[in-house]
Structure 1
């Protein structure tokens, strides 16, 4: 196996190891960045929903208190206001959702699905937990779900969701008396869940990774060509030339041309030493012949 082959094999092995390591680390970093991007979007959406809830509770509901005695207005419910504010968003981004899921909701549309019930149960079992992040694979792609606990911390909520007999008749006429009652103060009754698709950021991360790996491979090929050219002119060609001269001298061939590689590197120094050794050998042979 020649020097060039050994050099290329070592270089190729180093490249394969480096490429695998760079690909693995880059993939993790890009996917983590994509996940953080999605998570940041989910948190912004969550804060937007909280803002809609707070505005409804502080400014809208007080204005409609008297009217609520004659007719139940869902616009006074903070959860309804937050959900409605996302309808405009979903017209352009249908995969983005916000839901206030509950185990025992007043509106059946808010009943928690199986995976949402798991989130709620996690909050009920760990009261100190304030946020839960879940990733799910769905038919439309991978989704990130950001959940926050929904608890009863205002005794005023129990006027509608405590005992059935205390609830406004205008509300029970619409939703009935079978759901959304029996809630208790400081109880976790549900979870605010924001769902954001991860497919686009992940696809962008994959495209970036592919581009990076192609560029890295191109740089390696260019480096391989340049190093082989350098190896040929600086090392292999001078060594082959000296080996040829040594063979011809050892076979007694006369008038073998002298070779000294110009320069000050190690190969040049070797060629100079080889030339001096050859001259010394020829002088010694002449002296023996005399």
Structure 2
């Protein structure tokens, strides 16, 4: 099968583009997913900092104001961890998929009891007190989840008033939660952890959306480039070569007067046309000498 120069050029260009397109797609996919995961981790850390700020505000500003009330009935809002959870539940409405939990191995409030995997993370943080944060992935029935965990330590001696032994705890606390949970904590010990979790489907979906836009843009650039190069090849190469070919055919048939090699310019095709023109002149002179 005979292929024209333009077709060969397009085939080579298409092959190069396909290789580049696939390579760029794989590279961009990995980079975008990595960036999306890093962004998700950063957002999770912001949530974690917000939780810490809520706990600190409650401990320093709210709890002291409720001391009188606590003598008559226990107010959960006086507990820093409770306030952080309630505050973050409001933020979670604006950050779809993100979830925050403050869990303890021996919690006062049953809702703060960790799941099995959270308990494993807490024990790991307890065994390695030098760790300030853990970032990991875990499999769930709905897919992988990315999580950040930070240890909870008892650093304020005031906490021991409620969590050392039941006999020292406020009666209102015992009345609400009982004497069996949330006691025998030790100062500076890791008693739990704060968790922020987010499904991996969220960062993956964001990165895939950006990837589709990137690949569509790359494809658009390729189409425009292909059209521009084809026009350029037609105007600067194939059209001129066809003109030279027609003139050469006429010269080969003896129609030297109709063979026009008048190609202008200084490029290679113009140089070739000048060579053909000199050959035509030589042939004309040779025929004249023969006829004479």
- Matching of residues 1-290 of structure 1 within 5 Å: 1-90=3-92, 95-136=97-138, 143-196=145-198, 199=201, 202-253=204-255, 255-287=257-289, 290=292
* 3-state SS in 2 of match to 1:263: coil
The answer to whether the 8 A contact 1:147-1:191 is kept is yes
SS of residue in 1 equivalent to 2:221: helix
| d(CA) in 1 for partners of 2:81, 2:47 | 14
Give ranges in structure 2 of 5+ residues lacking alignment: none
CA apart distance, 1:130: 1.4
8 A contact 2:101–2:194 mirrored in 1? yes
Higher deviation after alignment, 90-99 or 122-131: 90-99
Partners of 1:78 and 1:60 lie apart in 2 by: 9
RMSD: 2.8
Distance 1:42 1:8, change over 3 A: same
User: 1: distance between equivalents of 2:119 and 2:288?
Assistant: 101
- Distance in 2 between the 1:121 and 1:278 partners? 94
- The 1-side partners of 2:192 and 2:288 are apart by 105
- CA deviations on 1:27-57 (whole Å, 9 max, x unpaired) are 3343334334333332222222112211111
Please say if residues 125 and 151 of structure 2, whose CA atoms lie closer than 8 Å, have aligned partners that are also in contact. yes
1:110, CA displacement in angstroms?
0.9
Q: Secondary structure at the match of 1:207?
A: helix
Distance 1:249 1:257 in 2: 6
**Stretch moving more, 191-200 or 233-242:** 191-200
Query: 1:282 deviation in Å?
Result: 3.5
* Distance across 2 between alignment mates of 1:94 and 1:246: 73
Going from structure 1 to structure 2, the CA distance change for 1:130 and 1:275 (only over 3 Å counts) comes to: same
Contact 1:38 1:198 in 2 (8 A): no
